[in-house]
Amino acid sequence: MSKIAAIKPLGQSIWLDNLSRGLIQSGDLAKILKEDGIVGVTSNPAIFFKSISSDPLYTGDLAELKKQNLTAEQRYEALVIPDLQAACDVTRAIYDETKGKDGYVSLEVSPTLSHDAVGTISNAKRLWAAIDRPNLMIKVPATSAGVIAIEELIASGLNINVTLMFNLKHVDEVLTAYIRGLEARVAAGLPVDHVHAVASVFLSRVDSLIDPQLEAIGSSEALALRGEVAKSFVKVSYEHYKKLFHGTRFAALKALGANPQRMLWASTGTKNKAYSDVMYVADLIGPETVNTVPDATLDLFRDHGVAALTLETGTDQAIANLAALRKLGINYNLQGEQLQTEGLKQFDDAFVKLLALTA
C-alpha cells in the first residue's frame, strides 16, 4: 500500500491541491487517485495561473477565445469550466462510492468578491449551474461577507469549501453558518442529506508569520513554540468541531441525515527547512478530516511519511501552547485577521495575473 493510501483507513481524506488540463487528459489524475487513495481535488487562482501559463494544452483554445468579444474573466471561465467538469467526472466514482463524502473538485469564487456577500452568492450560483456536477465544491473565503454567503449557499443546497480560516473566530463563525444554512433548508421543507461542506484551516502561513516574532522575543518559552503554533491551532479547532458536530446542537440535523462540515487542513507544504517536510500531514491525521496536499508534499510523504493517528494526541499541550503565546504578548486572533487579509491579497494578485493571461 502507498504510504499516502495508508492514511485513508485512519479516517482522513487526502485531496490533491492541484489541477490542470494535462493532469486530467494524461490520465495522471486517475492514476494517483487509484494508487494513492486520493479522493478529491482543490484549485485556486494561483494553481490555474500556473496551469494556463505552462500547460500547452490551453494554447489553442486561448488563442481562439481571444478572437471572441469576451472579457478576460469570461475567457478564463471558458478555459477552466471544461477542466472542472472533466475532473468531476474523473472523481465521480469516488463521490458515488462514498455517498457524497468525497470525490469533490473545488473551484474558487472570484477573489474580487471577498467582501461582497451578494456578489459572492450570485457568482457561486452561476458557477455551480455552469459546471453542473453534484461533486463540485464552491470555495468561499471566511470573511464577514463570506460567512453571510455561506449560510445562503448552504440553504440553497450548494456544496461549499470555506477557505482562509486562521483563528477560532473564523472557525466558529463558519461552522455555525453551515448549521444555520442547514436549519433554513429544514424550515423550508428541503432535504439536507446531500449537502456537504468543508472548513479549511491554513497552516504554513501561520508559522511563517509567528516564528520570527518568537525568535525576536528570544526566551526559551518563545523559542519552544516555533513550528508548533499552526499545529496547536488545528488541534484546538478540531476540538471545537467535535463539540459542535457531536453535540446537541447538531443532533436534530444529524437525525435528518445532515452531514458534518469536516475540517480541512490547507497550505500544508512546509516552508521552513528546519522542520519536518511532512509535518503538516503526518502530525495532523485524524478521523472526519481532510488534508489537501500539493504534489511536492505528496511526493515527500510517499517517500518517507508515516501514517498514524496523530491529530488527537497532545491536545492539552496544544491548548497550553496557545495560552503561552498569549502570555508572550502575541494576540493570535489579531494575527489570524492579518493572515486572512494577506491570503485574500495573494489570491487577488494571482487572479489579476491570471486575467492578464486571458486579456
- Could you write out the three-class secondary structure of the chain? CCCCHHHHHHCEEEEEECCCHHHHHCCHHHHHHHHHCCCEEECCHHHHHHHHHHCHHHHHHHHHHCCCCCCHHHHHHHHHHHHHHHHHHHHHHHHHHCCCCCCEEEEECCHHHCCCHHHHHHHHHHHHHHHCCCCEEEEEECCHHHHHHHHHHHHCCCCEEEEEECCHHHHHHHHHHHHHHHHHHHHCCCCCCCCCEEEEEECHHHHHHHHHHHHHHCCHHHHCCCCCHHHHHHHHHHHHHHHHHCCHHHHHHHHCCCCCCEEEEECCCCCCCCCCCCHHHHCCCCCCEEEEECHHHHHHHHHHCCCCCCCCCCHHHHHHHHHHHHHCCCCHHHHHHHHHHHHHHHHHHHHHHHHHHHC
Residues marked as catalytic: 139
Cell of 230: 499552526
Residue type, 340: Q
Return the number of other C-beta atoms located less than 10 Å from residue 236's C-beta. Answer: 18
**CA 250 to CA 258: how far, in whole Å?**
9
**CA 4 to CA 305: how far, in whole Å?**
8
* Torsional sign, CA 130, 133, 134, 135: negative
